């Protein structure tokens, strides 16, 4: 082997070990960055509506940056009386107790009424139609069990730093909650979300938890 071949071999070895060192450093940096990102996500906050402060003013429907608001009516079934005459579904003075559009409170037909048995009916929200106007919520609160309330839905919300609805809300009902506990349900009681444990890491977190 001549001197040129020896020099080339030495350079190749140095380059090889140098690239390995850079790769290890990048992996280490990536690992630290990933751990920091995970911890940061644990402290991430998102927007939600306190149903005990909400006044159903209608601004959720008109002030969201999305074309169809990320705020939707949520039906808290444990509180529902399954009423035949539900004022979240019907106008206060309906022409008839049927599903005709002229009898419904919702201007978009986003609530489906289904007979269960006897005088009991179930009411289901179609979130793809609901614009978060709160008319059904006000009706249920005024004449029923108040089992309907508004929620920010996090499969749609952009989590803006300065939420335009929060800025416009006259009742200061928009609050920040932990991202791992993003939903407030009314039957839990006021401020109960503060004491809720986050779901296990491998669980599917939904609005009903």
Q: What is the band of 203 on the pLDDT scale with cuts at 50, 70, 90?
A: very low
User: Is the same domain home to 116 and 143?
Assistant: yes
16 plus 66 within the same structural domain: no
Are 101 and 21 part of one and the same domain?
no
Grade residue 181 by pLDDT with cuts at 50, 70 and 90. very high
For residue 10, being part of any structural domain is answered with yes
User: Looking at the structure, do residues 15 and 52 belong to the same domain, yes or no?
Assistant: no
Q: What is the DSSP string of 72-96?
A: EEEE-GGG----SS-TTTB-SS-SS
Residues 22 and 108 reside in one and the same domain: no
- Tell me whether residue 39 is in a domain: no
Is residue 130 classed exposed, middle or buried when 0-12, 13-18 and 19+ CB atoms within 10 A define those classes?
A: buried
Q: Give tens-digit pLDDT for 120-155.
A: 999 999 999 999 999 999 999 999 999 999 999 999
Contacts (Cβ under 8 Å, ≥6 apart) of 98? none
Please tell me the predicted confidence (pLDDT) of residue 11.
55
Q: Calculate the CA dihedral of residues 84, 95, 112, 169 and round it to 10 degrees.
A: -100
Residues 155 and 55 reside in one and the same domain:
yes
- Average of per-residue pLDDT values in the chain: 83
Q: Is the pLDDT of residue 63 over 90?
A: yes
Q: Which domain range does residue 143 map to?
A: 45-195
Question: Is 139 inside any structural domain?
Answer: yes
Which has more pLDDT, 76 or 20?
Answer: 76
Beta bridge partners of 122: 114
For the chain, how many structural domains are there in total?
2
Q: What is the pLDDT of residue 199?
A: 56
């Amino acid at each position: 082997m001549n001197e040129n071949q020896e020099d080339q071999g030495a350079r190749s070895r140095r380059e090889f070990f140098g690239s390995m060192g850079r790769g290890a450093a990048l992996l280490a940096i990536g690992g630290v960055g990933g751990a920091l990102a995970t911890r940061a996500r644990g402290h991430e906050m998102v927007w939600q509506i306190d149903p005990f402060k909400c006044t159903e003013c209608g601004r959720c429907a008109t002030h969201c940056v999305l074309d169809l608001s990320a705020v939707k009516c949520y039906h808290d079934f444990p509180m529902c009386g399954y009423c035949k005459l539900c004022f979240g579904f019907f106008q206060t003075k309906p022409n008839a107790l049927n599903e005709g559009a002229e009898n419904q409170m919702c201007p978009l037909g986003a609530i489906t009424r289904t007979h269960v048995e006897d005088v009991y009916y179930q009411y289901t929200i179609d979130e793809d139609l609901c614009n978060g106007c709160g008319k059904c919520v006000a009706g249920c609160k005024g004449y029923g069990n108040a089992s309907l309330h508004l929620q920010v839905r996090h499969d749609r919300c952009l989590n803006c730093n300065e939420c335009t609805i929060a800025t416009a809300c006259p009742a200061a009902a928009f609050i920040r909650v932990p991202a791992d506990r993003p939903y407030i349900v009314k039957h839990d009681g006021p401020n109960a979300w503060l004491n809720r444990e986050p779901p296990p890491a491998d669980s599917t977190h939904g609005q009903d938890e």
